[in-house]
Amino acid sequence: MLHKVKAFKNRLSASKDGKAVASNFGYLMIMQIAGYIFPLLTIPYLARVIGVEGFGKIAFAAAVIVWFQTITDWGFSYTATRDVARNRDNLEKVSEIFSNVLWAKILLASISFILLYILTEFIPYLKENQILLFITFMLVPAKILFADWFFQAIEKMKFITIFDLISKAVFTACIFIFVKEKSDFILQPLFLSLGSILVGLVSFYLITFKWKVKIFAPQKKEILLTLKNSQDVFINNIVPNFYNSFSSVLLGFLGGSVANGLLDAGTKFANIAQQFIGIISRVFFPFLSRKSNAHNIYEKINIIVTVCGAFFLIILAPFIIKFFFTPEFYDSILVLQIMACSLIFLTLSNTYGLNYLIIHGYEKLLRNITISSSIIGFLACFPLIYFYDFLGAAITITLTRAILGLSIMYKAKCIQRGILAK
């Protein structure tokens, strides 16, 4: 096995495509490491200053806004990345794809904000957190500007890496300078949003001036077609929210901010590991879109890395929580261990779903599996959270990811063996 991986690595490094993958991986790694280091610097400070309740409020707002982020993205992070990767030598076609995606996202973001405003006006608990929700919503337009999917597609990440690092450094400094008491918790999502918007503006400038991508006027027919072509991937992306982020939202209503804070503390490091593991998937997606026969070695690398990462997280969970958090967070140790197990199943979903079924045109199959698994998770979260509080939320996410990941892997293997036709 190791011999095959080494041979694959040598073939990559000797080719133009391999160098592009390695370069893309390197810059994504820098961005991702920065994404880990800077939050790690602020976690102990925030835990002491804003406490578990402040953590819980921030986590609740993030769980609500992630729905609108998913709606606005509409699956373009994969379909647009795939389409640009396949047409990146045709500037006119790339400009057409980018413009259609841009206008579609602006339309979806506008609808999302109107919907958020209505919900916060009519639901008391959301009304109490309206300002926090609006501030956190700023991440939605920031994500539109920061078209990281475009840089993935052309495999040129270095041009935005430096600006992302500057943004995170400034954001981190602001936390230490301005967050001084519990009521200052709202500044955390504010600084995060402003930093993201700054990086988004820079990346948008690079796309339109350095790569000379044109922004065509919006055309209703083209926008609707763009939305239609990505609807299966969108469904695949939005449906997991019914068990994932919905668990945090439901926990906020049933258990309050403290329960959400404990869940967030435990899932935070699992999410960091998840993002780190996801670098491999993100880097290989445009490459596999062009050379799908390399999937066999890729899947082995991805799964081995994830299993090792999950094992170390389970073992080190007590030390991690006690080192970064105050004693009021210690109940999060078991949450982290449960969520570490979910990483393995999430990798199966990414490896065989996003980086196999989507690339080979099985979006509808992936959508159906995701819908079925998510419905099970949605139904399970009510009794699990009601009886087991924040642990129930962690169990819900892990159980559903297990059903989803194993089902996707099974179907992908059937396709690879010719048992299942398109």
Considering the domain boundaries, does residue 422 fall inside one?
no
Considering the domain boundaries, does residue 134 fall inside one?
yes
Could you give the CA distance from residue 115 to residue 366 in angstroms, rounded to a whole number? 28
Considering the domain boundaries, does residue 421 fall inside one?
no
Supply the pLDDT for residue 67. Answer: 92
Are 174 and 187 spatial neighbours (Cβ–Cβ below 8 Å)?
Answer: yes
Considering the domain boundaries, does residue 155 fall inside one?
yes
Q: Rounded mean pLDDT of the chain?
A: 86
Burial of 195 (0-12, 13-18, 19+ CB in 10 A): buried
Domain enclosing residue 378, as ranges: 2-416
Considering the domain boundaries, does residue 277 fall inside one?
yes
DSSP labels, 105-159: HHHHHHHHHHHHHHHHHH-HHHHHTHHHHHHHHTHHHHHHH--HHHHHHHT--HH
Considering the domain boundaries, does residue 374 fall inside one?
yes
pLDDT digits (tens, 9 = 90+) for 286-319: 677 666 666 777 888 888 889 998 999 999 999 9
Are 126 and 132 spatial neighbours (Cβ–Cβ below 8 Å)?
Answer: no
Considering the domain boundaries, does residue 282 fall inside one?
yes
What pTM did the predictor assign?
0.77
Supply the pLDDT for residue 219. Answer: 92
Predicted confidence band at 7 (pLDDT cuts at 50, 70, 90)?
low
How many domains does the chain contain in total? 1
Considering the domain boundaries, does residue 226 fall inside one?
yes
Supply the pLDDT for residue 5. Answer: 46
Cα-to-chain-centroid distance, residue 169:
21
Whole-number Cα distances in Å, 348 to 58, 181, 287, 306, 354: 29, 42, 19, 10, 10
> Quick one: DSSP state of residue 218?
P
> Quick one: DSSP state of residue 190?
H
Supply the pLDDT for residue 330. Answer: 93
Whole-number Cα distances in Å, 186 to 117, 124, 132, 175, 180: 18, 19, 6, 11, 11
Q: Which of 25, 74, 49, 80 is nearest to 289 (CA)?
A: 80
pLDDT digits (tens, 9 = 90+) for 360-399: 878 888 889 989 999 999 999 999 999 999 999 999 999 9
